[in-house]
Amino acid sequence: MNLKQLYYFKRLAETEHYTEAASSLFITQPSLSHAISELEKELGVALFARKGRNVKITQNGKRFLPYVEDALASLENGRMTLQKNSAENKENIRIAFIYTMGEYVVPQLINKYSLSPSRHNVTFSFTQGTSLTLLQELKAGKTDLAICSYIADEPDIDFIPIIQQELVVVTAKDHPLARLYENEVDLVETIHYPYIYFSENSGLRPFIDNVFMQQKLVPDIACYVDEDTAMAGLVSIDYGIAIMPRISALSYYNVHILTIKNAIPPRYIYLATMKERVLSPAIQSFKDVIINDSQKIS
């Protein structure tokens, strides 16, 4: 006796019609007849009697039916309980990241992590924002991992460099600097033009401030923005020039990109976690993927 035979018996008892029962079970009529015949042999009794082109459930079949229904119902309840527990046991990884990481890097990291069958029970929640906002979320326990700029004076946060980015000067296509310089420029040549500058909400702001300070230059600031795409958009309409990371999104804007002649260190993007917070195995394994693969992906 097997489970299929019990399902077949129950359905045939409901319809008392081989063709209809077989059709609803998506099997052939001979397959159904064989399964019922084998079940009757094992039980040693007839469960159905022929009645013209149909069948009629016998008294033995009627006695057997409630037990089959109870058994199948119990098995179905067990299956549903297991599925419910499986859904409840899904682990959610909360990751926060600066806007530029959402275009390509984070989706590729998620894809790489999810390729392992053992990780199919993991879901993700996402938060985007400036580095300062993301670190506030991290400290408040609202996110597990943050991909952002380094922020000083955060003794409880562990910062691990994961991506190196080159800083470039970006101008509108028809800007005088674009006409004068094809590939690279010294920052001193840019200082006479108004700058679109990162606001204090941006984790990149202290880094850019330090670049100008080291070069002993003071930029003429036209306006402040929080993030890279807003900066690129304003540059494209010639509202000002900018120093910003060389990101893939720049290809979507009508801008001219110049490398910087001056000796400027690269900008790093970091993975931030709370030092004293214990990570679950799933979060730790995703953290390892971020550390090992972010630079390759970017």
- In CATH, the number for domain 167-265 is 3.40.190.10
- pLDDT tens digits along 200-241: 989 899 999 999 999 999 999 999 999 999 999 999 999 999
CATH superfamily placement of domain 91-163+269-297: Periplasmic binding protein-like II (3.40.190.10)
Judged by DSSP in three states, 283 sits in helix
Separation of alpha carbons 196 and 289, rounded Å: 35
Confidence of residue 85 (pLDDT cuts 50, 70, 90): low
Global pTM value: 0.67
Closest CA relative to residue 271, chosen from 143, 121, 182, 171: 143
Fold of the domain built from segment(s) 3-88? Arc Repressor Mutant, subunit A (1.10.10)
The answer for residues whose C-beta is within 8 angstroms of residue 39's C-beta and 6 or more apart is: 1, 5, 6, 8, 9, 47
Confidence of residue 257 (pLDDT cuts 50, 70, 90): very high
Judged by DSSP in three states, 245 sits in strand
Separation of alpha carbons 160 and 147, rounded Å: 9
Give mean pLDDT, residues 233-258.
95
Closest CA relative to residue 267, chosen from 288, 246, 296: 246
Provide the pLDDT for residue 53. 72
Confidence of residue 39 (pLDDT cuts 50, 70, 90): very high
Provide the pLDDT for residue 76. 87
User: Domain-by-domain residue ranges, the chain?
Assistant: 3-88, 91-163+269-297, 167-265
Measure CA of the first residue to CA of the last residue in the chain; give whole Å: 58
**Number of residues in the chain:** 298
pLDDT at 170 over 80: yes
Which of these ranges, 2-11, 33-42, 84-93, 204-213, has the smallest mean pLDDT? Answer: 84-93
Within a 10 A sphere around the Cβ of 212, how many other Cβ atoms? 16
Provide the pLDDT for residue 116. 74
> Which residues are registered as beta bridge partners of 145?
95
Same topology, domains 3-88 and 91-163+269-297? Answer is no
